[in-house]
Structure 1
Amino acid sequence: MLSQIGKSASKKAMRVDLEIYYEAMENLYHPEDNPEGTFPMNIAENHLCWDQLRERIQQVTRDNDIPEWVASYTDPAGAPSFRKATAGFLGKFLFHCPVDPETIAFSGGATSVIEMTSFLIAEPGETAVIPAPSYPVYTGDIGTLPGVKRYDLQLPGDFSKSEYDFDLELLDRAKTEIEQAGSTFRMLILTSPDNPTGRIYRESDLRKIAEWCMDNEVHLIVNEIYGLSQLDITHPDLQSEYEQPTQFVSFGKIMEEFKSPFLHFWYSFSKDFGVSGFRIGLLHSHNMDLIQAYRNAGLGHSISNYTQWVMQEVLNDHTFLSSYFKDFQKLLTEAYLAFTGGLKKLEIQYNPSRGSLFVWMDLSEFLEEKSEAGEEKLWLEIYHQTGILLTPTQGFGHSQKGWYRAVITSIHPSEMEVALGRMEKFVQKKRNA
């Protein structure tokens, strides 16, 4: 009854933790009404500054008439006024250089952007290389419809660093292996700050990676969906974690210098702004054939004009955005300090982060066996005994067993202490067993 793609999609869950996540969401912790409730910390959502953003959005809709263009068709790549507002936002807050609105195309969320870009630049059966550990759902985003294969590039496994050390020999080796397997190394996908580690790529590494990709005609895409979810590493309680840290430099700035058809940038408003339900993702590229292809193929992926109008008004208010991101960084840093402080107390190792919404932590000492089955058993054990739902390890692509991701922005800061208290009891019980 279904096509081959349909049959495959029907048998493969988008995420292995969705069913248990929905269960947890029906039993959320409340200090009075449900003190034994759950803490879902597996889905990458940011709830830290929603009240502030909601107030600004309500002001937009209250104080302004809806423009005529909102009720009509507009450019499938995004309304011109929305692209202009977004270019101004990216230029001021992330790239720190001018951005041409014509180099931007939108579609409905980060997943759509990844999927659209993949089938426009790669043939089915070609390969995307992704440094591991990395976002598990990349596999489905590039594979389900575009038919692109995922190759997990194993980087040196030192999780004590907040910045990646990248050796170009790894890319040469991957290219050889992929070609020997009968495929083509078509795409290299980097995420900075990374999911799940929170590491960043140095500007010097980004430049040499970009040059390698241009020389080898490989499309390099840098996903900066957490580009403004950066920790305040000057905080006195954080400074000791970073030895001579380099400044975060957006790949957008490097792209502006090269203007290569092989260099691209992904972004979404879901994480930095905490509006995943708005479904706004974007591709930025100086490859104008790709932008035109995105426009021609993207009508079914378009964003609601009403959403575009509301967000363009927010993006044009740079005074508000400056205040918003200052507050967000403060709250994000506090959440990170609270969670990692609990891990330090328990002597649990974690990867020092420069940004993102996560803490990547080592719970391998509690594994009964170092296997996928052992990891899943521990994941479920933590959930059933503490109510804390971490992201399962399956699909991140890394070789080391026992590392789990916690989303520190998914629960209210006042709940963090309760969750950490439960984790402490769990750890003590396991160590005393």
Structure 2
Amino acid sequence: MQEKNHLSDRGQMAAGKPLRMDLEIYNEAMQNRYYPSSNPDGAFPMTVAENHLCWEMLRNKMQEISRNQEIPEWVASYGDPAGVLTFREAISGFLGEFLVKDKIDPNTLACSVGATSVIEMTSFLLAEPGDTAVIPAPSYPVYTADIGVMAGLKRFDLQTHHEVSELVNGFPITLSHLENAKKEIEEKGTRFRMLILTSPDNPTGGIYSENQLVQIADWCEKEEIHLIVNEIYGLAIINVDHPEIREDYPKAIEFKSFGRIMKKRQSPYLHLWYSLSKDFGISGYRVGILHSYNEQLIAGYRNIGLTHAISNHTQWLLQEVLTDQAFVKKYLESFQEALTKSYIIVRQTLKKLKIPFNPSYGSLFVWMDLSGLLENQTDEDQHQLWLEIFRQTGILLTPGNGFGHSKKGMFRIVITSVTHEELEVAMERFEKFYLEKNSETN
């Protein structure tokens, strides 16, 4: 007898479609994590974009605040759904000082529970169901759900390159790419409504130059398309002048926040996303931020944002952290130094094995090409290689499936989810696997 369905069509779709293809194996890896003394044969979950490098430093600061300060009265009451004013003032001061490097009006900010919420809310308010968001490939797989589940947008993966070597001088995106995408989308009977860029990028670690952002902003404003730059990794910057990696950046690009361009233009078509999840490694605190000079967008965000509002206690605690700019400066310096060290550990192994990869400017990732280990350039062979790496080494990577890119055999490795010591063990295991597998393949 067929089981009775108790859900709506939307509910059935949600129940039957996992959030991520790797979630089950990720949970398996987490339950068998590597520990040098108690579980030396354990696994290394390096698939979820989490940053654990300087958590102890941040936790100590939070514990100090909680010990020494009383929780204010307003924490127990309702507040502004887009973030209470004191919190938005703290966020504006932090972003102005460390990311945008220019003053930001707190009234241009709206906050909600995590980056996913910000993406969903922005998409809901800017676009109609059935509209299309263009995203240069490869890109974050879960953008598909973030823009699609509630807002009903379609995702268009814009192919700008095939080989990782084509990224050596930055993203090869041109206005011709955008024009062609617009034509293709309109021929399919939908509307190119949003362009989403991530800088530093997930998964490639690349960044967009200021000149690129200016040109793309010009085009988007002319075409009345909303340009959103996701700078969720905006302070996860690798020191490309470090002597061990300097040679990888013959024409180094300087990261400059899109917020500077936005402030000059104050256009209703230009927006920025940020979150405390990655740079501060506190994804569990659920803090996402929209920055926009579009007053209607901010008003709409506030009017429907109650179900997405951040806990007042979280807002209070984090505003106390962020207003201590001396601490934030010290924290970011420590984090960027630790991030650079993690990157160097992974890069050394990839260079030794002559594995193609994109030299990263920032983010929590390295994007590498393992296509040489595939018998056939297919999604199925890529999936099987992913499983084989995990079963034989305990290293859980993210395969290219879902990133929307044309090249098979690409894998993302999260370099900040384990300690430096653990990362070195993982790379030793990976090297052993690669040499054995490569000898079999060739």
Report TM bin, short chain. over 0.9
Q: Aligned runs of 1:351-430 on 2, under 5 Å?
A: 351-430=358-437
- In structure 2, C-alpha distance between the alignment counterparts of 1:326 and 1:102, rounded to whole Å: 29
Aligned twin of 1:241: 248
Which amino acid letter does the alignment assign opposite residue 58 of structure 1? Q
- In structure 2, C-alpha distance between the alignment counterparts of 1:200 and 1:4, rounded to whole Å: 40
Q: Secondary structure at the match of 2:399?
A: coil
Which amino acid letter does the alignment assign opposite residue 197 of structure 1? T
- Are 2:271 and 1:298 aligned? no
CA contact (8 A) 1:231 1:354 kept: yes
Which amino acid letter does the alignment assign opposite residue 35 of structure 1? P
Aligned twin of 2:176: 169
- In structure 2, C-alpha distance between the alignment counterparts of 1:368 and 1:145, rounded to whole Å: 39
Q: CA deviation at 1:238?
A: 1.3
Cα deviation code 1:226-282 (max 9, x no counterpart): 000000011111110001212111001110001000001100100000000000001
Cα deviation code 1:202-233 (max 9, x no counterpart): 00010010111110010000000000000001
Cα deviation code 1:381-423 (max 9, x no counterpart): 0000000000122110000110100000011111112111111
Cα deviation code 1:348-405 (max 9, x no counterpart): 1111110000000011111122111111000000000000000122110000110100
- In structure 1, C-alpha distance between the alignment counterparts of 2:331 and 2:170, rounded to whole Å: 26
Q: Aligned runs of 1:50-69 on 2, under 5 Å?
A: 50-69=55-74
Aligned twin of 2:156: 151
- In structure 2, C-alpha distance between the alignment counterparts of 1:396 and 1:118, rounded to whole Å: 19
Which amino acid letter does the alignment assign opposite residue 99 of structure 2? L
Aligned twin of 1:100: 105
Q: Aligned runs of 1:3-82 on 2, under 5 Å?
A: 3-82=8-87
Q: Secondary structure at the match of 2:398?
A: coil
Cα deviation code 1:106-137 (max 9, x no counterpart): 11000011011111111110000000000000
- In structure 1, C-alpha distance between the alignment counterparts of 2:427 and 2:189, rounded to whole Å: 48
Q: Percent identity?
A: 58
CA contact (8 A) 1:5 1:145 kept: no
Cα deviation code 1:149-194 (max 9, x no counterpart): 0000001234231621321011110011000000000000000000
- Are 2:296 and 1:321 aligned? no
Q: Secondary structure at the match of 1:105?
A: strand
- In structure 2, C-alpha distance between the alignment counterparts of 1:24 and 1:148, rounded to whole Å: 33
Specify every segment of 5 or more residues in structure 1 that has no aligned partner in the other structure, as ranges.
none
- In structure 2, C-alpha distance between the alignment counterparts of 1:427 and 1:129, rounded to whole Å: 35
CA contact (8 A) 1:162 1:198 kept: no
Q: How large is the Cα RMSD of the aligned pairs?
A: 0.9
- In structure 2, C-alpha distance between the alignment counterparts of 1:405 and 1:247, rounded to whole Å: 23
- In structure 2, C-alpha distance between the alignment counterparts of 1:314 and 1:163, rounded to whole Å: 34
Specify every segment of 5 or more residues in structure 2 that has no aligned partner in the other structure, as ranges.
1-5
Aligned twin of 1:342: 349
- In structure 1, C-alpha distance between the alignment counterparts of 2:262 and 2:419, rounded to whole Å: 37
Aligned twin of 1:189: 196
Indicate which of 257, 263, 281 corresponds to 1:256: 263
| TM-score, length of structure 1 as denominator length | 0.99
CA contact (8 A) 2:169 2:251 kept: no
Which amino acid letter does the alignment assign opposite residue 380 of structure 1? L
Q: Secondary structure at the match of 1:136?
A: coil
With 97-106 and 241-250 compared, the bigger mean Cα shift is at 241-250
Aligned twin of 2:220: 213
With 381-390 and 337-346 compared, the bigger mean Cα shift is at 337-346
Which amino acid letter does the alignment assign opposite residue 119 of structure 1? F
Q: Secondary structure at the match of 2:289?
A: strand
- In structure 2, C-alpha distance between the alignment counterparts of 1:356 and 1:45, rounded to whole Å: 10
Aligned twin of 2:127: 122
Q: CA deviation at 1:12?
A: 1.6
| Structure 1 runs (4+) greater than 6 angstroms displaced | none
Which amino acid letter does the alignment assign opposite residue 225 of structure 1? I
- In structure 1, C-alpha distance between the alignment counterparts of 2:115 and 2:126, rounded to whole Å: 17
Q: Secondary structure at the match of 2:277?
A: coil
- In structure 2, C-alpha distance between the alignment counterparts of 1:269 and 1:318, rounded to whole Å: 15
CA contact (8 A) 1:362 1:403 kept: yes
Which amino acid letter does the alignment assign opposite residue 141 of structure 1? D
- In structure 2, C-alpha distance between the alignment counterparts of 1:398 and 1:278, rounded to whole Å: 31
Aligned twin of 1:87: 92
Q: Aligned in 2, Cα 1:381/1:162: closer, same or farther, shift over 3 Å?
A: farther
CA contact (8 A) 1:106 1:282 kept: yes
- In structure 2, C-alpha distance between the alignment counterparts of 1:6 and 1:128, rounded to whole Å: 24
- Are 2:253 and 1:266 aligned? no
Aligned twin of 1:112: 117
Q: Secondary structure at the match of 1:221?
A: strand
Indicate which of 194, 205, 226 corresponds to 2:233: 226
Q: CA deviation at 1:4?
A: 2.5
CA contact (8 A) 2:163 2:407 kept: no
| TM-score, length of structure 2 as denominator length | 0.97
